[in-house]
Structure 1
């Protein structure tokens, strides 16, 4: 399992309401961090620099690596998060159902899309739970960014390496930008509704 899959399982396991857009951005960040760990990419300032093509035994990481811009000036991390993150949580949901990691649930407080799902008790779920219990820094930081862990801030977590810290900060900024867009739309919609209602 990868950090992204562990993050998705934790989000469902804790039955915490997480926006699909927020989670998709965090999943893209988790993939990028795993690519850094695998030696597939390096971070140069705010750019993602492919440095190798190591064998990746995960379909999503393989897709992420294949989608990297391989010519200078390379892609900015923020741009990568938005591009790679598009509908990524939905793709992970489908894959985890197919892999038997998620199953339909008759009643649930947490619903992803139109289906209510819950994690199956598998080795992957136990591994994700162990990483969460041990407060593994990357998983904990990404969970804090999307609000799964209300008690911690990603700023409080000591991450291993500058590149990982830069990626987590970029995920945080992207999630904040998405929230600002949501708030602006809410205000615009309310103003439009008031206009039609009249005095």
Structure 2
């Protein structure tokens, strides 16, 4: 399994006090992909620029797609640009991949045997691996979970990460999520103001 898949499993397994924002999770998943590519030496960072390395054999198809999508020539892509480009719709893509791989199951209600049911995680080795990383508070996974807004993750000061490149990615994920939240709040304020104008015109 990969860090993005582990992160999605943790997100689905965690009882959150508020609904997770899919955009936040997608940005965190894109960061998780980049961290795994760093670990595979498929990329390195030059400052905040993503420089491709050799192309390893990657059995996970989504992570392999991520490696294939790397900008191969200068000027290379920044970490921030990668998060926004690669993160677009990424949560849905990983959810579909889990379902295709049999990691999800439909929970049917006995009174509605032919209903669509609710999608839940299957009891699988992949789920247990993700749970092990989560319960052991593995640094990278908990930092990504914190950025995505998953309850039970570390809060407050960011955990120390020995690898400077990984630290750069984690910081970029947090910044991107903060930027996305600011944009959501701006749109909410604008919508409220627009609604007030219409209500005022209707009086």
Structural mapping, 1:14-25, within 5 Å: 14-16=14-16, 17-25=19-27
Question: In structure 2, do the counterparts of structure 1 residues 105 and 15 end up closer, same or farther at CA, with 3 Å as the change threshold?
Answer: farther
Moved more, 148-157 or 78-87: 148-157
1:7 paired residue number: 7
2:103 paired residue number: 101
Gaps of 5+ in 2: 110-115
Q: With structure 2 as the length reference, what TM-score do the two structures score?
A: 0.90
* Superimposed CA distance per residue, residues 145-175 of structure 1 (whole angstroms, 9 cap, x where no aligned partner): 1111456237331223000000000000110
Q: Tell whether the 8 Å contact from 1:141 to 1:154 is kept in structure 2 after alignment.
A: no
Q: Distance in 2 between matches of 1:136 and 1:154?
A: 16
Q: Distance in 2 between matches of 1:59 and 1:53?
A: 14
1:172 paired residue number: 174
Structural mapping, 1:29-178, within 5 Å: 29-106=31-108, 116-149=118-151, 152-153=154-155, 155-178=157-180
User: 1:73 deviation in Å?
Assistant: 1.7
Q: Secondary structure at the match of 1:71?
A: coil
Task: Count the aligned residue pairs.
Answer: 193
CA RMSD, aligned part only? 1.7
Moved more, 186-195 or 14-23: 14-23
Q: Distance in 1 between matches of 2:107 and 2:163?
A: 39
Q: Tell whether the 8 Å contact from 2:14 to 2:151 is kept in structure 1 after alignment.
A: no
User: 1:105 deviation in Å?
Assistant: 3.4
Q: With structure 1 as the length reference, what TM-score do the two structures score?
A: 0.92
Q: Distance in 2 between matches of 1:187 and 1:65?
A: 38
